[in-house]
Amino acid sequence: MFPPDDELKICFAHVAYQLQERFLLRQSGIDSFGVRTPDDFAQRIGEADVVVVSGMWRNELLDQAPRLRFIQSIGAGTDQFDRGRLTARGIRLASAQGVNANAVSEHAMALILALARKLPEARDNQARHVWRGMISDIAQREDELGGKTLLIVGLGGIGSRLARLAKAFGMRVVGIKRDPFTGGEDADSVHALAELKTLLPDADFVALTCPLTKETEKIIDGDALALMKKSACLVNVARGRCVDELALLGALQGQAIAGAAIDVTAEEPLPPASPLWDLTNVLITPHTAGETRKYEDNVLDILVENLHRLATGESSLKNQIV
C-alpha cells in the first residue's frame, strides 16, 4: 500500500528550481524537504517515499533508498532511470511529458520571428549605438511570415501547438510524425519521417520538435542541409544530437542556409571555443525553451495528480513510465 498523506515524505531534488517552496504554498499537509546538491541528495534520499528529480538522479542511489515508492521526473526525458531496477523494486516512475509544451512551442515561434525580423542584428546594432539605414537589397531586409512554409519535424504536443501558432501568422505548415495517419490536424499536411528529404526543398523554416531516438539522431545531416533553400533557416528546440553539428556549422559558414536558431547543442553547455558562438547568422539560447515562471507549478500539477492516483490505488499514472 502507498503511504497515507500523514506518513508520506517527498524529496525535491534540483539545483535551481523552487519546487519545494511552490509545493508548500499548496498547503497539502504532506511532509517534504528539498536538496540542491548531489551530496545532499545522496545523504537524505533514505528519508523519502517520493522523489521529484531529473538531472540529479543516479541509479546507484536506489541502494540508499529503502522507503522509495515513486519517482516523479521533473522533465519529459527519463533515460537516466534504470527501468528494470525500478520494476524489480516496485518503484513507480512518471515523466513530466507535456509540462513545457506551451513554453517550448512559444519559444520556437519566438526564434522563427527573431530570425525573420532580424532581431539579433537589431540588438547588436543597439549595443553599438548604430541606427541602421534603409536597405536597397531586398534579400537583406526583414521578412514577413505570411505565405512562408514551416516544416515541423515532430508533431507531438509541442509541434502541434507550434503549428497552431504558425498558422495564426499565415504560414503554411507541413508536419512530420511517426504515424502520419493519427493526429496532425493542426498542420496543412502530415507525412512520415521517410519523406523528410523530399519536403526540405520547399521549406522556408525547418523546426525540430521531435524526441531524440535512433531514427532522429542526426536527422538533419549534411545531405539534409544541402536540400534546404539558401534562404531557409533551421530552428532546433528538440535535442542537439538531432543535428549533425559539424555539418550545420559548415552550412552556416558557407551560407548554404540563411541561418539557425538553436536552443540545444550536441554538448551542453556549448563549449566556449565552439565557432557557433561567433556566427552572425546563428541565434543561441541556452536550453531555456521550457524554463518559464510556471514550470514548477506545471510539474507539481502532475505530481499531485499522480499522488492522488497512488493513494486511491489506481493502476495507471499520468505519463506513466514504470
pLDDT (tens digit, 9 = 90+) per residue, 62-95? 999 999 999 999 998 898 999 999 999 999 999 9
Output the nine-digit C-alpha cell for 18. 523552487
Tell me: pLDDT of 177 over 90: yes
Tell me: pLDDT of 1 over 90: no
| Residues 234-281 pLDDT 10s | 999 999 999 999 999 999 999 999 999 999 999 999 999 999 999 999
Q: What confidence score (pLDDT) does residue 76 get?
A: 87
| Residues 29-57 pLDDT 10s | 999 999 999 999 999 999 999 999 999 99
Q: What confidence score (pLDDT) does residue 254 get?
A: 97
Alpha carbon 152 to chain centroid, angstroms: 14
Give whole-number Cα distances, 201 to 21, 66, 197, 225, 229, in Å: 49, 56, 8, 9, 6
pTM for the whole structure = 0.91
List the one residue out of 103, 112, 196 whose CA is nearest residue 158.
103
User: Is residue 267 within 8 Å of residue 287, measured between CB atoms?
Assistant: no
Q: What confidence score (pLDDT) does residue 79 get?
A: 86
| Residues 201-229 pLDDT 10s | 999 999 999 999 999 999 999 999 999 99
DSSP per residue over 116-182, as a string?
Answer: HTTHHHHHHHHHTT------S-GGGS----TT-EEEEE--SHHHHHHHHHHHHTT-EEEEE-SSTTS
71 beta partners: 51, 93
What DSSP designation does 220 have? B
What amino acid positions are annotated as catalytic residues?
Answer: 239, 268, 287
Three-class SS state of 72: strand
Average pLDDT over residues 19-29: 97
| Residues 137-149 pLDDT 10s | 999 999 999 999 9
